[in-house]
Structures are given as C-alpha cells and as structure tokens.
Amino acid sequence: MKPYSLPDDQGHFGQYGGSFVSETLVHALDELKQAYEKYRNDPDFQNEFAYELKHFVGRPSPVYYARRWSERLGGAQIWFKREDLNHTGAHKINNCIGQILLARRMGKPRIIAETGAGQHGVATATVAARYGLECVVYMGSEDTRRQASNVYRMKLLGATVVPVDSGSRTLKDALNEAMRDWVTNVEDTFYIIGTVAGPHPYPAMVRDFQAVIGNECLEQMPANAGRQPDYVVAAVGGGSNAMGIFHPYINHENVRLIGVEAAGEGLETGRHAASLNAGAVGVLHGNRTYIMQDENGQIIETHSVSAGLDYPGVGPEHAWLKDSGRAEYVGITDEEALQAFHDCCRTEGIMPALESSHAIAHAVRIAPTLPKDKIILVNLSGRGDKDMHTVAERSGITL
C-alpha cells in the first residue's frame, strides 16, 4: 500500500470533498489554506498547540482496559481511548484549540461557529474566552429550546448565541447562517467548523488537529496492551473523532477501522442519521459527500437519541474510506446505544456520552465472536453527564 496522502491539492478524496462555495469565500479559503500549510510545519505553532493540549485540555488522555466487561463477554479485549477526560468533556476541544491558534496568527479577532446540540458551540466559546476573542454562535431556535443549558453555558463563557428561525430551525439552518455571516464579515472573522466537513481545507485540517488522538494510541497501545489493536471503533456524526483515531492507523493494514453511525429507530424506518449506510451522494456544507436527502435533493431531518450524531452529512474522507473499503461503517440503534450506556456505567464505572455509546455497543456486539487475544480499541469520544436528562426521560424518570 502506498503511504496515504489524501486529499489532493483541491481537497478531493476521490470524488468526494472539494470546495462548493460562493465567489466571496474563495479568497478566504485560499488564505486559510495558505496559513494552514505554513503553520502545520511551523515548530512554534506545533509547540504552542502541544502546550495547550497538555495544560489546558489535560492531554494525553489515557487508554483504559475495560477488563471486567471484556471478561464477562468472554471474547476479545475491549480498550477505551479516554477522550471523556478532556477539559469540557469530549474530543471537540482539540480541534477548537488548533483553529483558534490559527485565527490568532491570521489576525482575525472575531470567531463564529455553528452548533446543533451545543457541544461544538461550548468548545468554541471556551477557547474564545481563553484567548479573549469575540465569539458568535449560530444555533437553530428549535435546538436553543431543546438545549437551553448549553445556551446558558456559552453565555457564561461570554459568547453571543444567535437563534436561527429559518427552515427546520436546527443544525442545517445554523450551518447556512454561519456561512452567510462569514461571507459578510470575511475580513475580520474566522469560522471554526466543528467536524471533518465543510469546504477544503477544513476536512483535512480538522482531521490533522484530531489526529493527536490516534497518534497517542500508537504509542500507548504497545506500552499498555503489548501491541497495536486489531480493531479501532468510533462513532461517526460528522466524523471528527473517528478520523482522529483512524488516520494514524490507515497505513497499518492489519488494523480494521469501523465507523458506527446512528441507526436511530432502525435503518428501515428512515428515522436515523446514517448517511453512509443509507444516504446518497450530494453536496452539503461546501463539500461533496454522502448526505441524507429526499428525491428532490432536499436535506431531510435526521433522528438519533444522541444529539451529536444528528448531522445530515458525513465528512468526505469517510465517504472515500467507505468506497475504497479501507474502513467499514455499521449502524447502532437508539435502543442498542442506551443499553451500552447503562452497561458501561455499571460494569466499568464510566458514564459515556450517548454518541460514544454507539461505538461501545458495536464493540460489545463483536467482542464475544472474537478470540481472547484480539484487541478492540474504542474511541470513548466524550462523557455522558450531558446526556443524563435524555437517559432519564427514556427510562420514564423526571429529574
């Protein structure tokens, strides 16, 4: 296998990716691409990024052997990469640190972001506060209602939250509004995208910032488990925690990469967020990829018990990895994810995010079918405290 070196200069991963934006943004994206090319190889930038990840985020996050659960299942060993232990409770902060350091070097004093459930908004507001930059977060008004505590969290951190009243008043509408703001204020504004989507260079740039996850595993697994894993499993919403752990393993041919999408109420019901398993190729958020659309090319509403997997597209690199066969993508339903959530709490003393619970559920499904000397590494992308209300509601409990 040739060393993996995608995307090409135009941001293509095979037929996916690229840059589908209005004329006004072409220059801004060129500027960003040049800045990123310059700083990704700049020792000062890399040192500052590493310093912040260590002292502000708390990295490296450990790898952890889920011994009790593995032994109970009686098959392969299950290991967790503990992104839930990061400051703010998930992997999203890694990318936000990288992008805000870039914004500072590019002299952009104003930060914008879009958010669905509010997790990327909170991570962005956090780094904006850390560096004293102005921060505006777009959020569908339906989402601001459903996720009121995250709205308050962003406000406490000094951000302005703009509710978006168009369309279905959810993430895809917030995405459009953020793009519109960027077109209008492109001179002084940096747009922090929260996953491996958007126009080139975002998918590659976000992946590279998140690759710290997999790079740590490359060293931690031999040191702690005795060797590299046989399987790497991660939940896929837009796909950033999955790309972050997959990417350093792509050239390790014996390591199987498995992305887990939200099958919601079941793939056959149409009520899910599984773009790779059940979507079609189209353009969303400035790139070509698999998206959830109807016969007329309109984006359709997604469904998942976990707000963070509720994204109607998927990063273009995942589309490529699927078509090329280098990674596999499976679905886990709401019910299966909730079961894994409860079992993880009780068996390991770890409350995983509902997003991560999808990845865990798949690992738990395959572990008993594999010999005891096999190793499954699961990216535990975030902690589940934020999901307690959802879980309680599902169990008929009012908190």
Spatial distance between the Cα atoms of 92 and 89, rounded to a whole number of angstroms: 9
How would you list the strands of the sheet with 189-191, edge to edge?
160-164, 134-140, 110-115, 189-191
Measured at CB, which residue is nearest to ligand PLP? 382
Q: Does the annotation mark 304 as catalytic?
A: no
Enumerate binding residues for ligand PLP (CB under 6 A).
90, 92, 119, 195, 235-242, 308-309, 353, 355-356, 381-382
Nearer to ligand PLP, 240 or 293 (CB): 240
Spatial distance between the Cα atoms of 344 and 337, rounded to a whole number of angstroms: 10
Q: Does the annotation mark 301 as catalytic?
A: no
Spatial distance between the Cα atoms of 288 and 285, rounded to a whole number of angstroms: 8
Strands (E) located in 255-334: 256-264, 280-284, 287-291, 327-333
Give SS3 for 269. helix
Q: What is the torsion angle, in degrees rounded to the nearest 10, for the CA atoms of residue 344, residue 357, residue 257 and residue 285?
A: -160
Cβ 177 to ligand PLP, closest distance in Å? 19
How many other C-beta atoms lie within 10 A of the C-beta of residue 82? 17
Cβ 236 to ligand PLP, closest distance in Å? 5
Amino acid at 328: E
Q: Does the annotation mark 92 as catalytic?
A: yes
Q: Which residue has the tokens 């509408």?
A: 173
Nearer to ligand PLP, 189 or 195 (CB): 195
Cβ 261 to ligand PLP, closest distance in Å? 9
Spatial distance between the Cα atoms of 327 and 321, rounded to a whole number of angstroms: 5
Give SS3 for 26. helix
Nearer to ligand PLP, 1 or 235 (CB): 235
What values do phi and psi take at 375, rounded to 5?
-125, 125
Cβ 75 to ligand PLP, closest distance in Å? 25
Selected catalytic residue, list 81, 92, 108, 322? 92
Nearer to ligand PLP, 285 or 297 (CB): 285
Nearer to ligand PLP, 97 or 235 (CB): 235
Closest residue by Cα to residue 192 from 234, 159, 143, 146: 159
Selected catalytic residue, list 52, 114, 261, 355? 114
Cβ 91 to ligand PLP, closest distance in Å? 6
Contact 95, 240 (CB under 8 A): yes
Cβ 176 to ligand PLP, closest distance in Å? 19
Nearer to ligand PLP, 98 or 239 (CB): 239
Angle at 31 between CA 27 and CA 37, to 5 degrees: 140
Nearer to ligand PLP, 278 or 370 (CB): 278
Cβ 200 to ligand PLP, closest distance in Å? 17
Contact 76, 67 (CB under 8 A): no
Spatial distance between the Cα atoms of 89 and 77, rounded to a whole number of angstroms: 25
Amino acid at 291: I
Residue numbers annotated as active site? 92, 114, 381
